[in-house]
A and B are shown apart, each in its own frame.
Chain A
Amino acid sequence: MSRLTIPTPAAAQGVIDALYADLGRRLQSNAVGVCPVDLCSAFVKLCHSQSCGKCTPCRIGLGQLERLLEQLLDGDAGDGTLELIEKTARVISLTADCAIGYEAANMVLRSLKANRADYEAHLAGNCTAHFDAPVPCVTLCPANVDIPGYIALVRAGRYADAVRLIRKDNPFPSACALVCEHPCESHCRRRLLDDAVNIRGLKRMAVDNAGNVPVPESAPATGKKVAVIGGGPSGLTAAYYLALMGHAVTVFEKRKQLGGMLRYGIPSYRLPRETLDAEIKSILSAGVTARTGVDIGTDVTFPQLKADYDAVYISIGAHTDNKLGIEGESGKGVISAVQMLRAIGDGDMPEFKGKDVIIVGGGNVAMDCTRSAMRLGAKSVTCVYRRRKEDMTALPEEVEGAIAEGCEVMELAAPVSVELDDAGAVKGLWVQPQMISNISRGRPAPIKADADKQLLKADIIVVAIGQAIESEHFAANGIETKWGRIVADMDTFVKDNDGVFAGGDCVTGPATAIRAIAAGKVAAANIDRYLGFDHKIGAGVDIPAPPLSPQPPCGRINLPERPAEERRHDFNLMEYPMTLQQAAQEAARCLRCDHFGFGALKGGRTWQW
C-alpha cells in the first residue's frame, strides 16, 4: 500500500469552491440596510458550519450564540440576553483554539458594538432596520442618479433621453462617464449572477451618442441671488440646479478656468479638455454667471458676499498640498501634485523631458502624476510608496495602467530626505525600505525594515500625499473649521451662519467628483427651500418597461484602452468606448431593480426632487 498519494480535488469540491465564490459575490452585493442582528446570526451560522468541532467554545458556543441571536430576532429574548451574547462571544474569542472560532466570535463582538442600538431595539421586539436600498445602484450613487432608468434608455437607443435623465441628478454626465469611481457598481445585484453591470461604460455610451442635448428651461426668475464660491463640480452642480430653479447664481472661481479638480486634478488623457469645456458650457447655459480669477479673501471678502447675496454656497475644494516634512523638501525640483496637475490643467506643461522623476504617494492623484510624467517625456518615472502595491488607495487599474506605460512602482519605500546638489537642486531621494506589518485601523501598516536606506536618483520629485483645504479666510470670518475642513451638516447647512451652505471636498476632505456633485445637488435643494421655494427638478423622460427576457450568466464588458506604448506619449483620451453590440449586451445585463423586487413596492424611482 502506498504511504502517500497526490491529492486531487474531487469534482464535488470544485462545485463547492464555485459555491463559495457565489456566496462571496452574494455577500459583496449585500443590500444596504439589512438587519445587522439577522445578518450576524446568519454569519454565526455560517462560521459554525466551518467549525471542525474539536473545541467547546467553537462547537457549542457558536451554536448557543446562534440560538441567542435567533431568540433576540424572534422577540423571545429576556433581560440579560445581550450581556449573555457578549459574554459568550468574549469567552469564545478568548478560548477558541483556532481562528475559525475566535474570529467568528470577534465578528459578533464587533457587530454588537457597532450596532448596539439595533440589538437593543430587538430586545423590545422591534427591528430598526429596513430595506434602505430598493435599487442598490441608485442608493449607492451619492447623487442618486437613476441608473436603471438611463441603462434602459441606452438599451432603447434613446441616448439624449438618457442624458436628460442623468442631468436630473447630475449635471456632469460626460465627466462622470469618464472619471466616476462608480460606487453604484459595488453592490450591483447582478453580482448575484456574475458581475456588476458596467454602469459607467453605459453612461459613456449615452453621452457619446446623445449629440447636443439642451438643458431644460429654467423656472421663472425668483429675484433671489446666490453666490457660489468655487467653480468645481460641487459649485457648478449647485449653480446649475439653482439657476434652473430661477435663482440668479454667480460662481466665483479663483483659477483662470472653471472645473476645479476635474480640470486641475484630472489629466486630460482621462477627461479631455474639450469634453469638460462642453460640459461646463452646457451647465452655464442654464443661466449661471461665472467670474473666474476672483479670490475670495483677496478680491472680495466672504462677509461682503454674505451681505450681497441671499445665500452663499462654499465649495472651494481641497487645492493645497500636504508636505512630507523631510529634509531637502524645499529644494529646487521638489513640487507638489497640486502644482503639477494645476499647471497641466492650464496647458502650462512642466518640463520633464529626459528627466528622472519620482512621485511619492499611492493614491489616484499619485497615479495621475505618474502617468502624466511619463506623457511629459520623462526619462524614468518611479512611484515610491511606503506600503505594498495592493495597499495603494489608487484604483488597481490605474496602477496597472501606469506600470504598463513603463512607470516603475517601488513599494515599501518611505522617503527619508531629499538629496540636493550644491545649487540646492534635487539630486535624488533617500528612501528607507519598509516591511508591511500589523493591520491598524483596517490597513496593514509599514514598519522600518532592517535594511539600509537607499538613494534613488531624481531630477524631479512630485509629492502626492494628499491635499489640504485653504479655509483660513472663512475660519477668520466665523465659519467653523476642523483640520482645515469647513464644518457643515449633511444637509450642507453651516452652523451659526444663516444662509451659508458648504459642501464638496472642502467639507469632506479630498474625495470623489460624484460626492462633490451630490453635495452640490443637496445644497441646491436646501438653498431653494431656505430661500422660501419648493422648485422641483425632474427629467420629463419616460422609462422603457423591462423586458421579460431570461438572464443567463454573462461576462461583463470592460472598456479597452489604447495600447500602452501608444498612449504613453500623449494626453489624448486613453479609454475606448463600448461598441453598439457591446452596449446592447451590457445594458441587457441590468436586472432592472427599479421594477423587480423591492423597487416594485417603492415605485423604483424618484421622478423629481
Chain B
Amino acid sequence: MAMVTLRIDNVTLEVSENTTILAAAKQAGIQIPTLCYFKDLNEIGACRVCVVEVEGEDRLVAACNTKVSDGMVVLTNSPRVREARKVNVELILSEHDCYCPACVRSGNCKLQDVANDLNILDLAYDRAPERNAPDGNFPLIRTASKCIKCMRCVQVCDKVQSLNVWEVKGTGGRTTIGVKGNKKIWDTDCSLCGQCITHCPTGALRERDDTQKVWDALADPDRITVVQIAPAVRSAWAEGLGLSKEEATEKRMVAAVKALGFDYVFDTDFAADLTIMEEGSEFLDRLQNGGVLPLMTSCCPGWVRFLKGQYPELTDNLSSAKSPQGMFGAVAKSYFAEKIGADPHKIFCVSVMPCTAKKHEVAIPALSDACGDPDVDVSLTTRELARMLREDHVDVKHLEEADFDSPLGTATGAGVIFGATGGVMEAALRSAYFLVTGKNPDADAFRDVRGLDGWKEATYDVAGTPVRVAVASGLGNARRLLEAVKADDVQYDFIEVMACPGGCAGGGGQPICDGEEKAGERGSILYALDKDMPLRFSHDNPEIQALYKEYMEAPLSHKAHHLLHTDHHAWNMP
C-alpha cells in the first residue's frame, strides 16, 4: 500500500494512505478526543468533537473519517479547533441530563470524560434535554435525556446484530433514536443482547437495575440466599473496580460475593457441566434416533429470543435443555433444597450473568419447574454485581480469596469455557466423544471452534461418525448461518450460537470499557483457566456425577426432563 507523509502538530510521520487522521495521530502519539466514534462500527463524524484543522482547508474536518493525504498538515489543538470542540461539547451538554451523580455511568462516561478533559466549567446554553418516555419495566431501558445521538446503538443493532431495533427518528432538532416502527421496545424482536448498552457512550442505555430486590432478600432472615456466578463474569468482574489482572482472580470474586452476605455462593460452571450432560446426550439421541437436526444450543437467551422472533419455524431445532442459569435454579430449588433440608420457597436464587437477556429468561413463567416459584428469582449483570460491591463498600482488593460453596460449586474446564464463543460446542464434543466411545479424547482436540470469527465450522470424527459443527457469535452472523441452513447451502449436525460477538465474554451485561471490544481478551482468561483445571470434562465433574446418582438418575431421565429441559413453545415473542 502506498505511503504518505504528513505532519500532525509537531510530528512528521509516514502512514499508509488509507489511514484516517485519527489513526495517524494515534500512531504519532497524539490524542484527538472522540465521542461518537467507535472503531469499525461508527465512523460517521456526527459529534464533531474530533474536528481538526487541516492546512489549506477553510473548514475544520472530522479526524475520525477523513483520510490522510501526502503533504497534509494537521493541527489538533489550534485556537479554532479548541473553540469548536468546546462549543460542540457544550451544545451536546445542553441537551444532556447532566445529573451525573445519579447516573449509572458516572465515572465511566465518554461524554463526562470529554467534557472534563476540555475543562468545560460552565454552560452558556439553555438546557433542554429530551423528555424521557416510561421504561415499561423492560430489562433494557433507554433514557432519552441522556442520549447524545451518537448512533452507535443503531449501528451495532443494524450492522452487528441485524435486528434493526433502533433507528434514527425524526428530523431537525428533534432527531432522536427510537424504536423502529414507533413501537415500544418490548413489542419488538429485541433480543435483549445488550450490545447497544455496552456500545453506548453515556448512561442513555442501561439494564434494569434489580439490585434492590437482592438487597431485600439478603436482609430477610427468612430467605436462604443462593447466588450463581456465570463463567464469563470471572473474566471481567473487577474491570471497573481498580484491581489488577493478578488481583482479579476467580477466588477473589467468590470472596467478594460472599462479602455481600449470600448464604451460598455457587458456580454456574457447575450448571454448564450439567448442561453438557443433557445437551450432549440430547444431541447423540437426535443423531442416533433421527431427531430434528441440526441441533442448536439454547444456553444463550438472546439467541433464543432472536430465533423465536425471527425464525420461529426453527424452534424445534433448539435444544430443549435449559440454559445453565435455568438448570442451576431448578437444581437449587429441588436437589439442593432437599440436601440442606430447606423449604424451596424460602430459597432466593440470584444469578450474576454477563447478560441482559437473562433478565428476560428468569421471568419466563415456564421456568418454574422446581417448586412452582421462578427457578431463578433475580438475574443481575456483571455490572450490577460491581455496583453492589461498591454500594457495600467492599474492599475487594484486600479480600482473602475464597472457594465456591458445595455442592453446586465444583466445575470443570468444560464449564468455564462456556463463557467464550465455541466453548459450549467444545465442551459438548469433549463429552459426546466420551459418551460414544467410553473414553476421553484429548481435551484440546476440538479447539478449532475457538476464536473470534463470527462463523466457524469444523467436522469431527466421533467414533467413525463425522459430526459437522458450526459456531456463530453475533446475531448478524447467526442470521447468515440460518439463512444458509435454510437454503441448504450448508449441512451441520450441531450449531452453537451466542448472541454477543465473542460469546458471553463480550456479553451485554459485562463491564463497559468505551471504545473497546473485550471479548477476545476476556475469552483468553477463560481458556487459560480451562487449561489449568484438574478436570476438563463435564462428565468427570464429581458433583455432577453425585447429582445424577443421588437425584437425576441419568441424562434425559424423566426427572431430568422435568427439571432440566423446557418447552420453547411455552412462550412467544411479541
Contacts and interface: CB of A to CB of B under 8 A. Distances in A.
Interface of A: 48-57, 59-64, 66-67, 84, 87-88, 90-91, 93-97, 102
A19 to B, nearest CB: 16
A96 B172 CA distance: 13
Chain B interface SS verdict (over half):
loop
A62 B125 contact: no
Nearest to B86: A91
A97 B91 CA distance: 15
Contact of A60 (B60, B151, B168, B173): B173
A56 B88 contact: yes
Given A87-B83, A91-B88, A95-B60, A56 B48 contact: yes
A94 B44 CA distance: 17
How many chain B residues sit at the interface, stated as a range, is 20 to 34
Given A51-B171, A57-B88, A59-B149, 5 more contacts: A53-B176, A54-B149, A60-B95, A61-B88, A91-B87
A95 B173 contact: no
Contact of B92 (A60, A90, A95): A60
Interface in B141-175: 149, 151, 168, 170-175
Contacts of A87: 83, 87
B87 A88 contact: yes
Contacts of B59: 93-95, 102
Interface string B116-133: 000000001110100000
A91 B80 CA distance: 8
B292 interface: no
Contact of B171 (A49, A63, A102): A49
Contact of B48 (A48, A88, A96): A96
B47 interface: yes
B172 A95 contact: no
B91 A94 contact: no
A51 B172 contact: yes
B61 to A, nearest CB: 9
B45 interface: yes
18 contacts: A49-B173, A50-B172, A51-B175, A52-B171, A52-B175, A53-B171, A54-B46, A56-B46, A56-B48, A56-B88, A59-B172, A60-B95, A64-B94, A87-B83, A88-B91, A91-B84, A91-B88, A97-B46
Contact of A97 (B48, B151, B168, B176): B48
A495 B352 CA distance: 91
Contact of B173 (A63, A88, A90): A63
Contacts of B151: 54
Contacts of B174: 53
Nearest to A95: B48
B94 A60 contact: yes
B504 interface: no
Given A94-B60, A97-B62, A51 B173 contact: yes
A180 B451 CA distance: 82
Contacts of A67: 125-126, 128
Interface string B45-75: 1111101000000011010000000000000
Interface string B75-113: 000001001100110011011000000000000000000
A56 B62 contact: no
Nearest to A102: B59
B48 A59 contact: no
B431 to A, nearest CB: 42
B92 A56 contact: yes
Contacts of B172: 48-51, 53, 59
B305 to A, nearest CB: 24
Nearest to A63: B173
8 nearest interchain CB pairs?
A: A53-B175, A91-B87, A63-B173, A60-B91, A95-B48, A49-B172, A91-B84, A51-B172
Nearest to A57: B48
A53 B168 contact: yes
Contacts of B80: 94
A57 B92 CA distance: 9
Interface in B212-230: none
Nearest to A52: B171
Given A60-B95, A67-B125, A55 B171 contact: no
A42 to B, nearest CB: 14
Contacts of B92: 56, 60
Contact of B124 (A66, A84, A97, A102): A84
B88 A64 contact: no
A59 B175 CA distance: 7
Contacts of A53: 149, 168, 170-176
A93 B60 CA distance: 9
Given A60-B91, A64-B94, A96-B48, A91 B173 contact: no
Contacts of B173: 48-49, 51, 53, 59-60, 62-63, 66
Nearest to A59: B175
B126 A64 contact: yes
Nearest to B177: A53
B115 to A, nearest CB: 13
A298 to B, nearest CB: 55
Contacts of B84: 91, 94-95
Given A54-B44, A67-B126, A84-B124, A95 B88 contact: yes
Contact of A55 (B46, B60, B125): B46
Contacts of A51: 171-173, 175
A104 to B, nearest CB: 11
Contacts of B149: 53-54, 59
Contacts of A57: 48, 87-88, 91
A82 to B, nearest CB: 13
Contacts of A95: 48, 51, 59-60, 84, 88
A126 to B, nearest CB: 23
Nearest to A96: B48
B46 A61 contact: no
